[in-house]
Structure 1
Amino acid sequence: MKTTFYMSLLLAGLHAVAHGQLLPSHHNGHDTNEHKHHAHEAIACLKLVPNNADFAFQFFKEITLEAPNKNIFFSPVSISTAFAMLALGARSTTQTQILEGLTFNLTEIQEKEIQEGFHNLIHMLSHPEGGVQLNMGNAIFLTEKLKPLKKFLDDAKALYQLEAFTTDFNNPMEAEKQINDYIERKTHGKIADLVKDMDPQTVMLLATFVFFKGSWEKPFKPEHTEEREFFVDAEMTVKVPMMYQTGRFDLYFDEELSCTVVRLHYNGSATAFLVLPAKGKMKQLEETLVKETVQEWSEHLFQSLVSLYFPKFSISGSYEITNTLNKMGIVDVFTDQADLSGITGTPDLKVSKVVHKAALDVDERGTEAAAGTAAEILTLSIHPTIEFNRPFLMLIFDRDTNSTLFIGKIVNPTITS
């Protein structure tokens, strides 16, 4: 009988504040040594980028199949990081399944390179440029009886900034409070009540979280926000506060996928792609979206003066993702076949379930706009209007590492969870 451990993953809190003209990221005031260090880290995590992106879009496809016509919001980088850390303590087939489930080809990249890559990725994401706040972290909560190997704890601390805590799972309410308080504190209140109904048999819980707060390069003006209609589907319309501004935006019309893409930069190194499929074309987009699609959008963007309407909304996604990961080939770790002997030295440990929760706020706020916004003067000229008044996708990337921080599908912006 395997002892189970509960992976209460991925707590992603995102607060996005609104807009921007697309400018390349600038690095100011860094000395040469810092540049060299940055470059080394970038090279180390560069190897992970294609795999992490493949994992992100595969996971998105699975989640959309499980929850059709619902809001979706999750952090792929959070899920990847948690399972890469778990792979540190996995052995044999269990470890292979985890790494291959994260879409790594183990004939092309070694486990050591993967671990170093994630270590550098976490470091780079945790030290972003000014204007973006991004906190990532990992914590392990252990029953007193379970003694993890010193090597596992040392490696996990060094590579993943892991914090370890002793927890009394025999008292589930007390354990839940300890874990939820820790997560809530670390995500600045964005993720609350992550774990509930804990099994008293739990002996270890692994939590991974990411908190993001970004301000648009040019915020929307609150006085321009007005209630407008949002068409959830053919039968249902809701009223939403719709933000508005006229300006030069990076655009692309993807004729093949019948969607409009608008790219907005945050201050710092984060970028949002807002993707508005034509009516009835969301399913086609969900089924075909891959990293190459986003790459193509990036390469074909052009600047154009438009009137942009974008809803102000808050949503969160909460998922029990064990089945999703099963479909992606991560199977043994959840069964009595699990080999997590690298964590405790004995093979009697398995993951009981994996919980992922993510939250997103989008509103007008941001840093003060730079003086002299020429676009404001051009509001009388004739230009197209793009209004996000039907279901759309929102993809948030970190430009420095090319990491997919968050993927969201907003079907109904008035439903918060």
Structure 2
Amino acid sequence: MNQLARVSSAADRAGITVACLGADDALQRHGAAWRGLAQRLDAMFFKWPAVYDAWRLTCSEGAEPGVLLAWKQGQLIGVLPVMRARMRRGPGFVPHIDYGPFDSALVPGGRRLFPVRQISSVVSWCATWLRPSLLAEPELRGAVIRALCLHLANQAQIDQIVLPVREEEQAVWLDGLRAAGLAPWVHQLRRKVLTLERLAPFDAIVAKQNKRYRQNVRRARAAAAEAGIRFETRVGWQQVAPEMDALSQLAAESWKGQGAADGRVVIPFDARQRAFFERALSAGEPGIEPVLSLGLTRDGVVSALLSARHGETLTALLTFRNDRYPKASAGLLAIGAGIDWGADHGLRRFDLNSTQDWTRHLSDSSHMLVNVCAFLPTPRGRAYDLIARTRRRWEAPGNATA
């Protein structure tokens, strides 16, 4: 078995033990405890073992998936999916999109001269997995982060650590890496993730917006009624599975299927992405249930929101619309149908899983993501550290902090 499958451990002053396991080993030996932790903490969708398993089987090409697990007194208290990969970087040595080779095609052209052996937490645009994924007991989270940093700093055959984290938590990661003998820095991603923490009916959300937004929604509803668009919701894999072909057809008709001309990153709903969601949502993971809200006419599907219910949360995964009825804003109204379904079923949160500015009207909470990076003291790591430091000196103030 390769490096990630070799178990090593370290303990910090809090008595926390960390092990790095290969994906198969982690899921087979500790999947039940991982699932129990996710259920107890009402974890976000991407922190569940079935979702990680689906990702590593469908979207992890070119990377070596693994899992960092943290215990205290024999109890699992922290889980961080990670991946090793050989990447090519420019002189800044920071990813914005391509954390793994499977997403390299999404990055615009540029000079990437330097081969880097990297370990990072999982970020995968194909899987819409764009956020930090540490699952940890809240009261022990800081101690878990410090223990993970100590372990990461002792990785073999690695030049660089890359960790996308919430901005408000960056200081804990920086302190942990410094305590482990590294010299980390922060790369500002300027990526804002939006959430509706207090889920309410769609009408109540719209009522809080400005006059223009309210008028736009009223006009969209009138146009949808005139076009004969109705909105229905399918719940559970048995109801969702028969609609996957229609979802693929809608995706091909959408602007995402046609590609973007304005520089936006477009993730095609291809065989790889479909396989990920089918595996993740059909796995029968206790506590996860697929929900599909559809905009329908006599001619077929015109919009869709694929989401997942888990605990008290509904997480948006995919949204598509075609332009058959542009005045109807069928994509927004499909999201509204999903929000109403969640409110009707007593859910507390709607995770928009979005960094798109147009969804800000639907959110009441946001947080910024940053990359926390550090080089390990390998010969290449030391050389790259010097290059990266020189590059940061030439960057505008505030773009990176030591």
TM-score higher than 0.5: no
What is the TM-score of this pair, normalised by structure 1? Answer: 0.26
- Say which structure is richer in helix: 2
Between the two structures, name the one with larger relative contact order (CA 8 Å, sep ≥ 6). 1
